[in-house]
Amino acid sequence: MKYLFFLALIITASSITACNNAAEADPAETNLPPLEVTAVKLLADYEADENAAGNLYGGRNLVITGAVMSIDKKPDGSAIILLNSDQSSIGSVRCHFSAEKAAALAAVERKDSIIVKGVCSNMDSHVQVVVTDCSITSAAQEVANFSGKPKDHPNNQKATEEIRSDLFILDNFISDSGILYVSVSKDTENLNTKIKEIRKILEKHQSTIRWIKMIEFGTANPSNPDNAFGVLLAEERW
């Protein structure tokens, strides 16, 4: 009987130890696939419910797309990048790069759209979602290093393709100076609302465009070199 009693104690202790180890296991080391999320959504989820977001993202490998707010390069070669493209939030996503992985950031500048891989460490007291062990993806690096005309930028092409699907948009193109011209009928209503919708599409595709000019279809304005492509109806720059 004593033997059986001690055997039961050993089995119970082993079970408790196994449970504790499982609870303390780092989710980032599991075989869970990385979560793809935008910096805007990641931050919004944490601001809405930090506990729920922590359960979803905490310790997970993430693939984050976002616009660069700032780049802080350290003396030891490491770097910290803040991501966020939503002006309604005061927070940001703070991505930590080691010196080795920060070398790939040489061509990245403020307002660039990038894709970062890293491990989420939840939100800190500064309203920042912390992401560690970060690296920039090869596709994002190609986009960041892009040196061609704005109209040929892959993100801009995706955005203008979606914009063309709008029945109210009769034509659109990107000038060499990086301005998106959108042609509409002169009787199109709610122009400012339409511009905001176009901006959302640009931000969704992480476009490099920061200036939209809505012009009247079929017109020209050669007397104005800044807007020679048509009569200006509305515009937005940010």
Tell me the mean pLDDT in the region 53-70: 91
Residue type, 95: C
Does any domain span residue 135?
Answer: yes
- List Cα–Cα distances, 120 to 32, 36, 39, 86, in angstroms: 14, 12, 12, 19
Whether residue 47 is found in the same domain as residue 110 = yes
Which residue reads 């990385």 in tokens? 34
Whether residue 81 is found in the same domain as residue 38 = yes
Whether residue 166 is found in the same domain as residue 106 = no
Whether residue 172 is found in the same domain as residue 230 = yes
Tell me the mean pLDDT in the region 74-91: 83
Whether residue 101 is found in the same domain as residue 207 = no
Reported as a single tens digit per residue, the pLDDT across 169-209 is: 888 889 888 899 999 988 888 898 999 999 988 887 878 88
Helices 39-48, 50-57: inter-axial angle, 10-degree rounding: 130
- Cβ burial of 130 (10 Å; 0-12, 13-18, 19+) is middle
The pLDDT of residue 15 is above 90 = no
Reported as a single tens digit per residue, the pLDDT across 40-50 is: 899 989 989 99
Does any domain span residue 63?
Answer: yes
Domain that holds residue 171: 150-237
Whether residue 132 is found in the same domain as residue 34 = yes
Whether residue 133 is found in the same domain as residue 225 = no
CB within 8 A of 64, min separation 6: which ones? 37, 38, 39, 42, 83, 93, 95, 115, 116, 117, 118, 131
Does any domain span residue 17?
Answer: no
Does any domain span residue 125?
Answer: yes
Reported as a single tens digit per residue, the pLDDT across 111-155 is: 887 889 999 998 887 779 999 999 987 555 556 567 788 888 888
Whether residue 134 is found in the same domain as residue 32 = yes
What gap in Å lies between CA 172 and CA 182, rounded to an integer? 4
Does any domain span residue 119?
Answer: yes
Does any domain span residue 47?
Answer: yes
To the nearest 5 percent, what fractions of the chain are helix, strand and coil? 35, 30, 35
Q: pTM to 2 decimals?
A: 0.53
Number of domains in the chain: 2
| Residues written for the chain | 238
Residue where one domain finishes, among candidates 98, 119, 144: 144
Rounded to the nearest integer, the mean pLDDT of the chain is 80
Tell me the mean pLDDT in the region 155-178: 87
Residue where one domain finishes, among candidates 114, 144, 174: 144
Tell me the mean pLDDT in the region 80-101: 85
